[in-house]
Structure formats: structure tokens, C-alpha cells
């Protein structure tokens, strides 16, 4: 499909980039609308979706557009009545520093006066002693007078030193200068802090440990108080990604802070002297924007989630968007935004942007859609920019993007490529000839970015148990994969019409050390088992994928493009896929000519294309058509088996 985008631009240098973060969010129109409402009304928000689709960007945008309230500075003072309960004072923004400076000046004056008195008294003692000695008033005996004068000098020295030490060692507990906890001077937007992964002390505040708690050398409690992120975002936005990773205790404390809009600071460690200190409640009227994956919500405290839901919005974010001209134009804007943010790579030519859009279509793994995993796509933009920069090019070309796709493979893609090479070298799978009970299945990595070959073998053996035969599947199968094998086995028994109760059915997924999950190997398992039962050879130049219903329908699966690419790299010349996945293929037409893609809708069509021609095959297909009696077989007969590509 040709890429149609905004017209009249030669490079991304011609594309304007919005100044506001909210206008830079791509493909999340509903989320943006709700974030705007939440910002105006100061509502909490829970963003649910996969990483890299714009959750943190939405949170930051919310802080930018939130109506600015009167920001405040927060100070902490000593409490003479109870030193372990420091007092809190709130003043207007920018006044906090003035209060601290004024208090510091007063403290310096007091300290200067104390030092002056400590110096004057010993000097006065020396002077008086010297005058008395000179006038002979100390003693008529000169020797005795000299001894007494010397002793007086020594005593005066001790007094001078003691006065100096007393000034230096004066108990710091008497310091009355406040500490500026929160300084909002000069801020023009609501505070925003990303607290993802923060420990309890950083999130809720803490009081430092004081190892010198006696002898007048200790640090006053109010000077050891440290504000938490909930306090720093007072009248602002606190963003917590992966909210489920926060401990249950911290979630409870966070809920308390949200309800009370103030939270006292205390030491977080019971082994620290800071745990004895607890301030007066500190203001923390923040808006919480929490984020995470849907599967992790079970670890979110029910009361916290209820608080968000009752006083805000829960938003499930889009994973992809419709593939149309408007949205492709948004991707052009996205590329321009990434270039501006990076600041180190050149702009993209139009052809290079078209290649990025094509990659977005491919990564969506769904027909007529464009991926919104834009963080990963941004990585490709930067990789292509680095390549162009190294070449000294003024603009990034399509070839640079293609090279970037080859050099910036995901970890899963790199691993799968090595696995394919290894298995090909040792002939774990065969790409030529025929074999009975052996099929080359296809699978993908967990994120769907990397395809792999999944060799499957089936064998029929006498039952080990006299009671009945068993289905034995090996190869580190997951729960869904095992259930799929059971379903396929039920279908095979119906098709074969043979009594296999006295036989064990062995199904082996060869060298699947990575594990197998899902049901996309159903057609492969069925083909291998039927081949073993009927002794019909299977073509080994062919790979296949597809889910299978108990009625013999071939259902769509995920990662179809990655699977076909893996089949091509492994040297297969034909591949069977579900007909419903035909439009999900996003591969360059020149590359697609290397392999024949066969879309199918039923097991009958799978076997027709996979089995070697012969009497056994024809007999099996006739039996299959008769036994299944699918209501749609007539329509599928007209549609199935037509090749695409080679």
C-alpha cells in the first residue's frame, strides 16, 4: 500500500512542532480530552497501557495546562516545647528565602554578641591583673606577686579558651533559624515530579539520622527534615508510573495524603533517630497521575484505585490508530518532534519519513493500523539519524532508515536470528524434501517483534497403559499451548475415524528451550498428527501458522509479518497463513516475491497444500470434507488455496 501523507513538504524541517506538550501527544485523542478535563477540575487519573505509548507525556502535559494556583513556600521551625515535633509555616512563593535570610542575620548578630562577650571578659581579667601587679597591690613580696601574676595569666588563658570553645560548642539545639522545605520562587507552571520507582523516604518525606545526639553536638530536628515528592508537588502533578510496584504500606500512606491533602514528615527507618521526629502536617494538595499495565492492577490497593475512580478518571490508552492520511500526517509530526527533542540528528527527507510510517504499519501487527508504541519508533528515528550523521549527510534518507532497521534490531530479534542460524546449521528443521509426521511451525517472541521456526514431530506408539491411550506433548509448553494440543487431538480423532484408544499420541516441539505459549501452532500440530496417523508425507519446504477451532476452521494469529520474515530467512519457499491475516502482512513487495504465501480458511485447505500429492492425500481430504460437514465448506472451496506472492 502506498504511503499517503501531508503534502508540500520536502523534509521534516518544513513541519511545525507544537509548543505545548499536550499538542504533541499522538493518537490518544480520547485520553487528551480527559486529561484536559482532569487538569481544569484537578482530578486524579489512572493511565493503563503498555510502556512507550505516551503515559508520562500526558502527565507532564497535564501539569502544563493545569490552572496555576497561588504557589507556596513551606518552612520548618524548631519547637522549643517539643524538639521532636517541628513546626510548619506556609508563606507565599518567593517569601521563604527572605524569611530564612532575615532569621539567619538575626542569628549571626546573636552569635557575634556572644563571641564578643567571650573575648572581652578574659581580656578585662588580664588587664586588671596586670594593673594590680604593676601597682604592687597583689603582694608586697615581689616573688610572690610574680607567682600570683603568672597563675592569674594561666587562669585567664583557660577562661579565654573556655569562652571560645563554649561559643563553638554551643548547643545547636538552640538554633532558631528555620529551614526552607519547599521553594517555589520563580515557578510559572504547576510543579511536576515523576516519582516512578521512588522509595518511601523520597516519596513521603524523611528525617535524617543524627549520630551525635548528645554533648551539644547534635543537629536540631527541624534541620534534618526532608520533604517528600508529595510535598514538592503541592498544587501540582505527581506522576507515578508502574504504580503496582509501590509497596502496600506506601500505597496506604499515599492514599492518606490524597485524602487529607497534608502529611506529616517522619523518619522512615525505625533504626534511625529520625523515627523519633514527626513534624506538624505539611501541605500536599497534589493531583495524582498513576500509570501501569492492566495485568498489574491486581497489586494496586483497592482503596487507592477507588479513590482515583471516584474522584477522577481511569483511561485505557490506545495501542494503535487507524491507518489513514490524517494519522499518517500525525506520524510525520512525531518524527519532526523527535528530531527537535534529540537536537543532534539531521532532518528527514520525505522518503525517509515514508519508511518510518511503513515501519509503524508493520509494528502494529494488525491490518489498517499504525502502532502507537512511539518510544520504540523514536529509537528507530534516532538510529537512522545517527547513521546519516556519521555519513555527513545533510538529511536522513530512506536508505539510512533501512540500515537503521537492520542495525537497531530488538534483543528478541537478535536472539531469534541466532537461534534460526544455529538450528539451520544442525538441521533441527528441514527446508527440503518430505517427511511423515514432521511439520515446520512458526512462532513469535513475547512482544511479537521476532519470528522463529517451531519444528514439530508426531508419532503413534502402542499405549503404555492398558486402560487407554494418552496424548503426550513435550517441549516446555504453556497452559494455552497444552489446551490447544488437547483440542487438536479431539479434532484428529474425529477426522481419522480410527480407534486410537490403544495408542499413545506423542507430540514433540523440538528444542523449544524458550518455551511455547499460545495456540498459533494448532494447524501445525494437526498436520503432523494426521500425517503420522495416515502415513502421508508433509512438504518440508513449507512452514505454517494458524489457530484451529474444534470444527476445523483456521483462525487468525498474531505476529504474521515477523513469522513470514523468519520463514524467508530460514530458507522456506512456501508459507501457510490464516486468510484473515492476509492484509496484516507488511513486507516490501520485492522481498515478498521470495516466498509463496498461501492463505487458508480451513484444515482441509491446510492439508491440501501441506501434504505430498498421492492417493493417501486424496482419500484423506474426501474423508475430511465428509466428516466435518462444515456449513461454510462450499464458500471456502471457492476462496481457498490461491497463492499470494511468489
Q: What is the pLDDT of residues 438-453, one digit of tens each?
A: 999 888 876 667 888 8
Per-residue model confidence as pLDDT tens digits over 358-414: 999 988 988 899 999 999 999 999 999 999 999 999 999 999 999 998 887 777 777
**What pLDDT does residue 644 have?**
47
| Alpha carbon distance 46, 411 (integer Å) | 30
Measured at the alpha carbon of residue 174, what is the angle toward residues 173 and 178, in degrees to the nearest 5? 90
**What pLDDT does residue 494 have?**
66
Judged against a pLDDT cut of 50, whether residue 211 lies above it is answered with: yes
Of the listed 55, 373, 563, 596, which one is catalytic? Answer: 563
**What pLDDT does residue 86 have?**
94
Average pLDDT for residues 203-219, to the nearest whole number?
Answer: 77
Number of Cβ within a 10 Å radius of residue 371: 22
| Alpha carbon distance 51, 295 (integer Å) | 13
**What pLDDT does residue 632 have?**
40
The CATH classification of domain 72-93+184-316, taken from the options 3.20.20.10, 3.40.50.300, 3.40.50.620, 3.30.420.40: 3.40.50.300
| Alpha carbon distance 630, 609 (integer Å) | 19
Q: What fold, for 1-18+319-408?
A: Helicase, Ruva Protein; domain 3 (1.10.8)
**103-109 contact pairs (CB < 8 A, 24+):** 103/176, 103/177, 103/178, 104/177, 107/175, 107/176, 107/177
**What pLDDT does residue 175 have?**
57
How many H-runs (helices) and E-runs (strands) does the chain carry? Answer: 20, 26
Per-residue model confidence as pLDDT tens digits over 213-259: 654 567 888 889 999 999 999 999 999 999 988 988 999 999 999 99
Judged against a pLDDT cut of 90, whether residue 200 lies above it is answered with: no
DSSP string for 164-189: HHHHHTS-GGG----EEEE--TT--S
**What pLDDT does residue 394 have?**
94
Q: pLDDT above 70 covers what percent of the chain? A: 77
More confident of the two residues 153 and 535: 535
Mean pLDDT rounded to a whole number for the chain: 82
- Establish whether domains 72-93+184-316 and 418-645 are of one fold: no
Lowest mean pLDDT, pick from 181-185, 343-347, 628-632: 628-632
Is-catalytic flag, 633?
no
Q: Give the confidence band of 516 by pLDDT, cuts at 50, 70, 90.
A: low
Average pLDDT for residues 333-362, to the nearest whole number?
Answer: 94
**What pLDDT does residue 406 have?**
84
The candidate with the shortest Cα–Cα distance to 328, out of 283, 267, 290, 377, is 377
| Alpha carbon distance 567, 423 (integer Å) | 13
453 in Cβ contact with 440 (< 8 Å): yes
Task: Give the global pTM.
Answer: 0.76
Judged against a pLDDT cut of 70, whether residue 160 lies above it is answered with: no
Q: Give the confidence band of 646 by pLDDT, cuts at 50, 70, 90.
A: very low
**What pLDDT does residue 133 have?**
60
Given this structure, which CATH class describes domain 418-645? alpha beta
More confident of the two residues 404 and 641: 404
Q: Give the confidence band of 3 by pLDDT, cuts at 50, 70, 90.
A: low
Average pLDDT for residues 123-128, to the nearest whole number?
Answer: 66
More confident of the two residues 146 and 445: 445
Q: Where are the domains of the chain?
A: 1-18+319-408, 72-93+184-316, 95-174, 418-645
**What pLDDT does residue 329 have?**
93
Average pLDDT for residues 302-308, to the nearest whole number?
Answer: 91
Of the listed 152, 520, 522, 602, which one is catalytic? Answer: 520
Cell numbers at 218, concatenated: 547534635
**What pLDDT does residue 641 have?**
47
Amino acid at each position: 500500500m502506498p504511503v499517503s501523507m501531508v503534502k508540500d513538504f520536502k523534509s521534516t524541517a518544513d513541519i511545525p512542532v507544537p509548543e505545548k506538550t499536550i499538542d504533541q501527544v499522538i493518537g490518544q485523542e480520547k485520553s487528551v480530552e480527559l486529561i484536559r478535563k482532569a487538569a481544569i477540575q484537578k482530578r486524579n487519573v489512572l493511565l493503563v497501557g503498555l510502556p512507550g505509548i505516551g503515559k508520562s507525556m500526558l502527565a507532564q502535559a497535564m501539569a502544563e495546562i493545569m490552572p496555576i494556583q497561588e504557589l507556596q513556600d513551606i518552612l520548618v521551625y524548631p519547637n522549643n516545647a517539643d524538639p521532636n515535633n517541628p513546626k510548619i509555616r506556609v508563606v507565599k512563593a518567593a517569601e521563604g528565602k527572605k524569611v530564612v535570610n532575615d532569621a539567619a542575620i538575626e542569628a549571626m548578630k546573636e552569635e557575634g554578641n556572644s563571641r564578643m562577650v567571650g573575648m572581652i571578659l578574659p581580656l578585662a581579667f588580664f588587664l586588671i591583673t596586670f594593673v594590680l601587679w604593676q601597682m604592687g597591690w597583689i603582694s608586697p613580696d615581689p616573688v610572690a606577686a610574680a607567682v600570683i601574676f603568672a597563675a592569674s595569666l594561666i587562669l585567664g588563658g583557660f577562661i579565654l579558651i573556655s569562652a571560645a570553645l563554649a561559643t563553638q560548642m554551643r548547643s545547636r539545639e538552640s538554633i532558631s533559624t528555620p529551614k526552607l522545605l519547599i521553594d517555589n520562587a520563580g515557578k510559572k507552571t504547576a510543579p511536576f515530579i515523576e516519582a516512578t520507582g521512588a522509595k518511601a523516604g523520597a516519596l513521603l518525606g524523611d528525617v535524617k539520622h543524627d549520630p551525635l545526639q548528645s554533648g551539644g553536638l547534635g543537629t536540631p530536628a527541624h534541620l534534618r527534615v526532608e520533604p517528600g515528592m508529595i510535598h514538592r508537588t503541592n498544587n501540582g502533578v505527581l506522576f507515578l508510573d508502574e504504580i503496582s510496584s509501590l509497596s502496600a504500606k506506601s500505597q496506604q500512606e499515599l492514599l492518606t495524603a490524597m485524602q487529607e491533602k497534608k502529611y506529616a514528615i517522619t523518619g522512615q527507618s525505625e533504626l534511625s533517630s529520625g523515627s523519633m521526629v514527626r513534624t506538624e502536617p505539611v501541605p500536599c494538595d497534589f493531583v495524582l497521575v498513576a500509570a501501569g499495565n492492566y495485568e498489574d492492577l491486581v497489586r494496586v490497593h483497592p482503596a487507592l484505585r477507588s479513590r482515583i475512580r471516584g474522584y477522577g478518571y481511569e483511561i485505557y490508552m490506545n495501542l494503535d490508530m487507524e491507518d489513514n492520511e490524517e494519522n499518517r500526517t500525525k506520524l510525520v509530526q512525531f518524527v519532526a518532534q523527535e528530531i527537535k527533542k534529540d537536537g543532534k540528528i539531521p532532518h528527514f527527507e520525505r522518503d525517509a519519513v515514508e519508511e518510518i510510517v511503513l515501519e509503524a504499519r508493520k509494528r502494529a501487527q494488525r491490518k489498517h493500523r499504525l502502532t502507537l508504541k512511539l518510544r520504540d519508533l523514536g529509537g528507530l528515528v534516532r538510529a537512522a539519524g545517527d547513521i546519516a550523521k556519521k555519513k555527513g549527510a545533510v538529511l536522513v534518507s530512506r536508505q539510512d532508515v533501512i540500515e537503521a532497521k537492520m542495525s537497531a534490531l530488538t534483543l528478541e530479534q537478535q536472539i531469534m536470528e541466532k537461534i534460526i542460524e544455529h538450528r539451520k546449521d544442525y538441521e533441527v528443521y528441514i527446508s527440503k524434501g518430505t517427511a511423515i509426521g514432521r511439520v515446520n511451525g512458526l512462532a513469535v517472541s513475547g512482544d511479537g517483534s521476532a519470528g522463529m521456526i517451531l519444528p514439530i514431530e508426531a508419532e503413534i506408539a502402542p499405549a503404555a497403559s492398558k486402560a487407554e491411550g494418552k496424548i503426550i506433548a513435550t517441549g516446555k509448553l504453556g497452559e494455552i499451548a497444552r489446551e490447544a494440543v488437547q483440542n487438536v487431538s479431539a479434532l484428529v480423532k474425529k477426522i481419522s475415524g480410527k480407534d486410537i484408544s490403544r495408542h499413545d499420541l506423542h507430540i514433540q516441539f523440538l528444542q523449544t528451550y524458550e518455551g511455547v505459549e499460545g495456540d498459533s501452532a494448532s494447524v501445525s500440530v494437526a498436520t503432523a498428527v494426521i500425517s503420522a496417523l495416515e502415513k502421508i508425507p508433509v512438504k518440508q519446504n513449507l512452514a505454517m501458522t494458524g489457530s484451529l477451532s474444534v470444527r476445523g476452521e483456521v483462525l487468525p494469529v498474531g505476529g504474521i509479518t515477523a513469522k513470514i520474515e523468519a520463514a524467508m530467512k530460514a530458507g522456506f519457499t512456501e508459507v501457510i497463513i490464516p486468510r484473515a491475516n492476509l492484509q496484516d502482512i507488511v513486507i516490501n513487495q520485492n522481498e515478498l516475491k521470495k516466498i509463496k504465501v498461501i492463505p487458508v480458511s480451513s484444515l482441509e485447505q491446510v492439508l491440501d497444500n501441506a501434504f505430498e500429492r498421492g492417493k493417501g492425500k486424496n482419500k484423506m481430504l474426501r474423508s475430511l470434507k465428509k466428516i466435518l460437514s462444515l456449513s461454510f465448506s462450499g464458500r471456502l472451496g471457492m476462496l481457498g488455496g490461491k497463492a499470494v506472492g511468489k
